[in-house]
Amino acid sequence: MMSMPNGAANMQRRGRWASALTAVACAAVLTGCSLFGKADKNPPAELEPVTQTLTVKQAWRASVGKSGPYTLQPFAVEDKVYVSSHGGDVMALDGATGRTLWQADTDVDLTTGPGSDGTVTAVAGEKGAVFAFDASGKQLWKKQVNGEVLTAPLVGRGLVVVRTTDTRVFGFDARTGERRWVYQRTQTPLNLRVGMGMVFAGDGIVMGFPGGKLGVLTPSNGVLRWESTISYPKGVSEIERLNDVTGLPMVNGRQVCATTFQGRVGCMDLATGQPQWGKEFSSPTGPAQDDNALFASDERSVFFAFDRQNGNERWRNDKLRNRGLGTPLAVGRSVVVGDYEGYVHFLSREDGQFLARVRAGSDPIAAAPVLAGQTLVVQSRGGDIYGYIPG
């Protein structure tokens, strides 16, 4: 095979990274991009017919308003689902019927989906405005963090936890809005403009950071308990060295797993941060999990399942290549994921084969589906919300 001059090889490599970054930017923003245009050398895969072996019935449909240039993640607590729109609406819906339980209107454009513990619901908007509502939708308080917020607030244990894109994390009293603590770390030169989720686990708050880091904060005071590295930046330019944790860290027992962009997928010990395994991988959206496997798509929408114990590849499905897959969810015997045309795909958790497919309108689905009681809830960027009952 003919070798390639170093300069040409570097240009080709930069081209690959630029293409991948364009894919991420389009997946994260979906405005002003022509990722699937005629000139694209990697067109989206044509969907093949699916033999439905899983019955999926639409139970209801609702609408909250468009997401604008953001991924507004719905959030479920028991049999209720909480949603928001870029235009400023926040809604609580009954998961079984789609009936509106309450609706509130903020005075700013929203940049995140809601977080809730069922008693307090919080959401963030432009210029760092943070709002909290009670169980009836009445506004409890409004605070300003003076920074861009793209991650949904984490609500629970008497706290509303908010993180900004300049790597600050705030802990507010859930009832009063009083600031209890703030954690700040050194800002990286460049990071992805995507939400990096947070989750309560054990007696800590688990979250990813730019630069391929995963860490745990103490809820009472915001002190960093441990920090560990999933992957290290590579390359020469800042773009090539982009290496952020993506999506929500997945916690199962004493194990926490995560993905990074241009980095790795891996799992660690929840108590200590000690790495258990890791392998080369790049995901712009983050993983889903069950007791046995971790599920994630790469930047070209090839879908993988990895063994939780050792990271071995269990299966892969490339039939959705370049279809701009969103964040997945493992539910029942399937892994569910939406794409850029509004299709919702149900893949077998065992072997990755298609079990079913439905279409939730024509707008992209970037947010992860959520499970509200027995209902699978999907929110599109156009603001339509669908409730499905998988059989």
Say what the pLDDT of residue 195 is: 82
Say what the pLDDT of residue 40 is: 63
Q: Is residue 18 part of a domain?
A: yes
Q: Is residue 289 part of a domain?
A: yes
Q: Is residue 148 part of a domain?
A: no
| 3-class secondary structure, 142 | strand
Q: Is residue 213 part of a domain?
A: no
Q: What is the pTM of this model?
A: 0.89
Burial readout 26-51 (b: 16 or more C-beta within 10 A, e: otherwise): bbbbbeeeebeeeeeeeebbeeeebe
- Compute CA distances 179 → 35, 130, 182, whole Å: 42, 12, 8
Task: Give every CB contact of residue 385 below 8 A, 6+ residues apart in sequence.
Answer: 61, 62, 63, 64, 74, 81, 83, 93, 98, 377, 378, 379
Q: Is residue 64 part of a domain?
A: yes
Q: Is residue 201 part of a domain?
A: no
User: What's the CATH code of the domain at 35?
Assistant: 2.130.10.10
Q: Per-residue pLDDT for the chain (391 aa), expressed as one digit of tens each?
A: 333 444 434 434 434 444 444 444 444 433 333 333 344 678 999 999 999 999 999 999 999 999 999 999 999 999 999 999 999 999 999 999 999 999 999 999 999 999 999 999 999 999 999 999 999 999 999 999 999 999 999 999 999 999 999 989 999 999 999 999 999 998 766 667 778 899 999 999 999 998 899 999 999 999 999 999 999 888 777 787 778 999 999 999 999 999 999 999 999 999 999 999 999 999 999 999 999 999 999 999 999 999 999 999 999 999 999 999 999 999 999 999 999 999 999 999 999 999 999 999 999 999 999 999 999 999 999 999 999 999 8
CA distance 177 to 72: 22
User: Which residue segment(s) compose the domain that 44 sits in?
Assistant: 1-68+284-391
Say what the pLDDT of residue 189 is: 63
Contact 113, 367 (CB under 8 A): yes
Q: Is residue 151 part of a domain?
A: no
Q: Is residue 114 part of a domain?
A: no
- Number of domains, the chain: 1
